[in-house]
């Protein structure tokens, strides 16, 4: 049995596609009324409480999202395979959001909006794409896709990750020792890291101060990557120019949080990339097929790494 704990519309879509393409799999949309012993596959965002005791025969746990940092891996049986969402619909949205953010900053849209509020018609000096260095932290599936989408604009591109990568047309850096060099010439920094013990709070005063004066930051990974006080301090001292946040810690961001009203911060409510079930269903079905054939699963989480 496949137990789908997605919201109603997404469940409906997955049910329709699974029934068509894998009719041999029984599908359930809620926990109530289901024989927990029959559940072998589950799709969920929240990990159900007492999951291990409640579903002793669960074999594959699919996460609805790309990030699995909210799963309590210690409480999950070691034989349980955990899969994060790597689906084209979500990846495409992340590419679009990153492009929107970079162009917004590179073409000074927020400054023109501020001028508009004062009825000021003034052209700001424009910068050539080649004069801007756009850098992505996190070179997983989404990080690489975002760099690919940015390639067409002619910016200088950089990437940083835990382990070394080679990406054509991108200057790649790795490990903590190369982080200062990676940041030193970055004008627009995009965070797409997985959230782990190593990356929590990585965007701190120390690291963000390494960016050149006037740099901007886009966080579309997890709120806990970024130390909020650091952002406010560095914006107020004009070290940072602008910050675009699609994620905050906590979410929703409390109304009294100063970031809401900061004139050089743009906030969106965690909408950069959402799983589109029409395309995610294909990914889930392909993985169920791979599982049946005893093959490695796409997007399988390495518990030691935490992503
Ligand atoms: C959303 O943040 C996700 O992890 O997919």
Q: What is 82-112 written as a DSSP string?
A: EE----HHHHHHHHHHHHHHHHHHHTTHHHH
Of 166, 154, 168, 171, nearest to 99 by C-alpha is 154
In a 13 Å sphere around the CA of 151, the CA atoms on its Cβ side amount to 13
What string of pLDDT tens digits covers the 307 residues of the chain?
999 999 989 999 999 999 999 999 999 999 999 999 999 999 999 999 899 999 999 999 999 999 999 999 999 999 999 999 999 999 999 999 999 999 999 999 999 999 999 999 999 999 999 999 999 999 999 999 999 999 999 999 999 999 999 999 999 999 999 999 999 999 999 999 999 999 999 999 999 999 999 999 999 999 999 999 999 999 999 999 999 999 999 999 999 999 999 999 999 999 999 999 999 999 999 999 999 999 999 999 999 999 9
Residues with beta carbon inside 6 Å of ligand 1?
65-67, 85, 273
Please tell me if the domain spanning 2-87+275-292 has the same topology as the one spanning 91-267. Answer: yes
Bridge partners, residue 60, by sequence:
41, 81
C-alpha 115 – ligand 1 centre gap (Å): 35
C-alpha 117 – ligand 1 centre gap (Å): 34
C-alpha 65 – ligand 1 centre gap (Å): 4
**DSSP string of 141-206?**
HHHHHHHHHHGGGT-EEEEEESS---BTTEEEEEHHHHHHHHHHT-SEEEE-PPP-TTTTT-BSHH
The CB density around residue 184, as the number of other CB atoms within 10 Å, is 11
Q: Which atom of ligand 1 is nearest to the CA of 64?
A: 5
C-alpha 156 – ligand 1 centre gap (Å): 27
Q: Which residue's alpha carbon is at the smallest distance from atom 5 of ligand 1?
A: 65
Q: Which residue's alpha carbon is at the smallest distance from atom 3 of ligand 1?
A: 65
CB 226 within 8 A of CB 205: no
Catalytic: 200? no
- Token representation of residue 2: 């496949």
Pick the CATH number of 2-87+275-292 from 1.10.3720.10, 3.30.450.270, 3.40.50.720, 3.40.50.300: 3.40.50.720
Considering the candidates 270, 290, 303, 304, report the single residue annotated as catalytic.
Answer: 270
| Positive or negative torsion for Cα 184, 189, 191, 193 | negative
Pick the CATH number of 91-267 from 3.90.1150.10, 3.30.465.10, 3.40.50.720, 1.20.59.10: 3.40.50.720
Catalytic: 117? no
Instruction: Give the Cα separation of 212 and 209 in Å (integer).
Output: 7
**Which residue in this structure is represented by tokens 């409390």?**
254
Residue 301 parent element (H or E): none
Q: Which atom of ligand 1 is nearest to the CA of 275?
A: 5
Residue 135 parent element (H or E): strand 133-137
Q: Which residue's alpha carbon is at the smallest distance from atom 1 of ligand 1?
A: 65
Taking the model in full, what pTM does it have?
A: 0.96
Considering the candidates 10, 144, 222, 225, report the single residue annotated as catalytic.
Answer: 222
Identify the burial level of 50 via C-beta atoms within 10 angstroms of its C-beta, where 0-12 means exposed, 13-18 middle and 19 or more buried. Answer: exposed
Q: Which atom of ligand 1 is nearest to the CA of 65?
A: 5
Domain boundaries, the chain: 2-87+275-292, 91-267
- Token representation of residue 277: 């079930």
- Token representation of residue 262: 């900061």
Q: What pLDDT score does 8 carry? A: 86
C-alpha 148 – ligand 1 centre gap (Å): 20
Pocket probe for ligand 1: among 86, 93, 269, 273, the residue whose CB has the most ligand atoms within 8 Å is 273
* Count of positions (residues) in the chain: 307
């Amino acid at each position: 049995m496949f137990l789908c704990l997605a919201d109603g519309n997404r469940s409906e879509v997955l049910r329709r596609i699974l029934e068509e393409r894998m009719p041999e799999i029984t599908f359930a949309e809620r926990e109530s009324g289901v024989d927990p012993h029959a559940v072998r596959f589950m799709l969920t965002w929240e990990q159900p409480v007492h999951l291990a005791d409640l579903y002793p025969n669960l074999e594959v746990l699919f996460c609805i999202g790309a990030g699995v940092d909210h799963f309590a891996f210690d409480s999950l049986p070691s034989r349980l395979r955990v899969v994060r969402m790597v689906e084209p619909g979500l990846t495409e949205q992340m590419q679009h959001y990153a492009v929107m953010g970079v162009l917004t900053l590179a073409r000074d849209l927020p400054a023109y909006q501020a001028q508009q509020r004062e009825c000021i018609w003034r052209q700001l000096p424009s910068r050539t794409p080649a004069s801007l260095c756009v850098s992505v932290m996190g070179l997983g599936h989404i990080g690489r896709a975002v760099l690919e989408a940015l390639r067409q604009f002619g910016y200088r591109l950089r990437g940083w990750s835990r382990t070394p990568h080679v990406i054509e047309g991108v200057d790649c850096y790795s490990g903590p020792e190369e982080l200062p060099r990676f940041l030193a010439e970055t004008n627009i920094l995009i965070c797409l890291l997985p959230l782990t013990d190593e990356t929590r709070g990585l965007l701190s005063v120390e690291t963000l101060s390494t960016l050149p004066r006037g740099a901007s930051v886009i966080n579309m990974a997890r709120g806990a990557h970024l130390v909020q006080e650091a952002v406010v301090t560095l914006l107020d001292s004009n070290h940072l120019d602008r910050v675009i946040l699609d994620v905050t810690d906590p979410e929703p961001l409390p109304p009294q949080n100063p970031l809401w009203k900061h004139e050089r911060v743009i906030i969106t409510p965690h909408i950069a990339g959402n799983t589109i079930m029409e395309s995610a269903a294909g990914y889930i079905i392909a993985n169920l097929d791979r599982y049946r054939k005893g093959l490695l699963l796409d997007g399988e989480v390495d518990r030691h790494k935490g992503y």
